[in-house]
């Protein structure tokens, strides 16, 4: 496998790892206390909304996955994989894991965006009131975390395409699912 | 290109097309009228929630895209593509379009699922009340549409992987982004 592509992959994973961690921390540490009526105060945290709890968990899990993959690159540069069979086993594993984690992270981020949009706009027909006009700073921080999430999604989509490339280019262009001789 | 894979692709697209249309129709035609207080009645439709409007639009667009792709298969069986360059141009276009549409459809479905979950559970800390205990039949129909959406997502993920396979297997396994001679 080209070591140039391996370097690009490692760099993208490191970026994704950093941005995912930043996103998870931004949501998890977000908290704002406001007075509701006279002395009654209310604190907004990410635990008020299931979608934000899921976002923290999924972002953290995706970051851990990228860290594991990064450690694989370090091992990869030291030992050479001998047979094409063992290379393909690894390539299939990476390919499937990348696909699952990328789709799950993207979907969770989109669900959190939907819940946050409802918190900004409210839903008049359902009598759900706006929340963000009161907890403005809290909502801005969640917004930044969602932006981080989408940047990480883009990086992970790119990574999952690279791992698909690394797998499929070993197959024959003329016949279905036949390995090429090296 | 193997005609066996082409047939599988066409079949998957036809299934995806049908299920996407079913999902869009289930949401768009869903409507339930309930008495709120005495004679005051309220009708729930998909227009009450932005996420459901987006779901109908995206499902319909994805169905139209799959219809276009299906018509391409019919043309494909009649004319032969001569050069590898024109094949690759087509393969890159399919690959990119499939990726974009699959991710957008999956994300929209997940956003609609999040909004619907909020309608079922409410959010006590935000004082958002439950809606589905009143409009039960409406919510069950939306739930079925979301299930259709996820089945369609799975089919489209499979299709986008097939189009990645059809593209990347033309590249050389040893050097980065070098075409193989046929």
pLDDT tens by residue, A98-149: 999 999 999 999 999 999 999 998 888 888 888 888 888 999 999 999 999 9
Which chain A residues have a beta carbon less than 8 Å from that of B169?
Answer: 168-173
Element (H, E) at A93: helix A84-121
Residue B175: the pLDDT is 60
Which chain B residues have a beta carbon less than 8 Å from that of A98?
Answer: none
Sign of torsion, CA A56 A58 A62 A65?
positive
Q: What is the DSSP string of B39-108?
A: TEEEEEEGGG-HHHHHHHHHHHHHHHHHHHHHHHHHHHTTS----HHHHHHHHHHHHHHHHHHHHHHHHH
**More confident call, B79 vs A155:** A155
Residue B116: the pLDDT is 93
pLDDT tens by residue, B98-137: 999 999 999 999 999 999 999 998 888 888 888 888 888 9
B171 in contact with chain A, both atoms CB, cutoff 8 A: yes
B110 in contact with chain A, both atoms CB, cutoff 8 A: yes
pLDDT tens by residue, A23-33: 999 999 998 88
Q: How far apart are CA A125 and CA B52, in angstroms?
A: 13
B175 in contact with chain A, both atoms CB, cutoff 8 A: yes
Any residues with CB less than 8 A from the CB of B74 and at least 6 apart, and which? Answer: none
Please answer yes or no on whether A157 and B103 come within 8 Å at the CB atom. Answer: yes
A111 in contact with chain B, both atoms CB, cutoff 8 A: yes
Please answer yes or no on whether A128 and B125 come within 8 Å at the CB atom. Answer: no
Q: What is the ipTM of this complex?
A: 0.88
The SS3 assignment for A34 reads strand
pLDDT tens by residue, A52-95: 999 999 999 999 999 999 988 877 666 666 677 888 888 899 99
Tell me the whole-structure pTM to 2 decimals: 0.89
Helices B136-168 + B3-28 axis angle, to 10: 160
Q: What percent of chain A shows pLDDT beyond 90? A: 54
Residue A149: the pLDDT is 96
B92 in contact with chain A, both atoms CB, cutoff 8 A: no
Residue B61: C-alpha distances to residues A105, B99, B108 (Å): 23, 14, 12
Which chain B residues have a beta carbon less than 8 Å from that of A117?
Answer: 50
Residue A44: the pLDDT is 87
Pairing of strands A40-45, A31-37: antiparallel
Q: How far apart are CA B4 and CA A28, in angstroms?
A: 50
Please answer yes or no on whether B164 and A168 come within 8 Å at the CB atom. Answer: yes
Q: What percent of chain B shows pLDDT beyond 70? A: 90
Closest residue in B to A51 (Cα–Cα): B114
Please answer yes or no on whether B176 and A4 come within 8 Å at the CB atom. Answer: yes
**Considering CB atoms only, which of A106, A157, A169 is closest to B173?**
A169
Q: Are B127 and A130 in contact (CB under 8 A)?
A: no
Please answer yes or no on whether B50 and A117 come within 8 Å at the CB atom. Answer: yes
Which chain A residues have a beta carbon less than 8 Å from that of B119?
Answer: 126
Number of C-beta neighbours around residue B116 at 10 A: 22
Strand partners, B123: B128
Closest residue in A to B3 (Cα–Cα): A176
Chain-centre distance for alpha carbon A47: 20
Q: What is the mean pLDDT of chain B?
A: 88
Confidence at B22, pLDDT banded by 50, 70, 90: very high
Instruction: Calculate how close chain B gets to A67, using CA atoms only, in Å.
Output: 24
Instruction: Calculate how close chain A gets to B17, using CA atoms only, in Å.
Output: 21
The SS3 assignment for B135 reads coil
């Amino acid at each position: 496998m080209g070591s140039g592509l391996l370097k690009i992959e490692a760099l993208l994973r490191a970026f994704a790892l950093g941005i995912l961690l930043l996103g998870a921390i931004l949501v998890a540490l977000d908290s704002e206390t406001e007075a509701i009526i006279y002395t009654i105060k209310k604190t907004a945290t990410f635990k008020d909304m299931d979608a934000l709890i899921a976002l923290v968990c999924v972002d953290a899990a995706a970051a851990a996955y990228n860290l594991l993959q990064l450690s694989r690159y370090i091992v990869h540069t030291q030992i050479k994989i001998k047979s094409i069979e063992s290379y393909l086993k690894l390539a299939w594993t990476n390919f499937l894991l990348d696909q699952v984690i990328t789709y799950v992270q993207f979907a969770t981020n989109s669900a959190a965006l939907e819940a946050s949009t409802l918190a900004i706009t409210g839903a008049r027909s359902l009598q759900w009131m706006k929340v963000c006009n009161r907890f403005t700073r809290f909502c801005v921080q969640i917004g930044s975390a969602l932006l981080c999430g989408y940047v990480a999604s883009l990086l992970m989509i790119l990574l999952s395409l690279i791992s698909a490339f690394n797998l499929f280019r070993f197959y024959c262009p003329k016949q279905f699912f036949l390995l090429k001789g090296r």
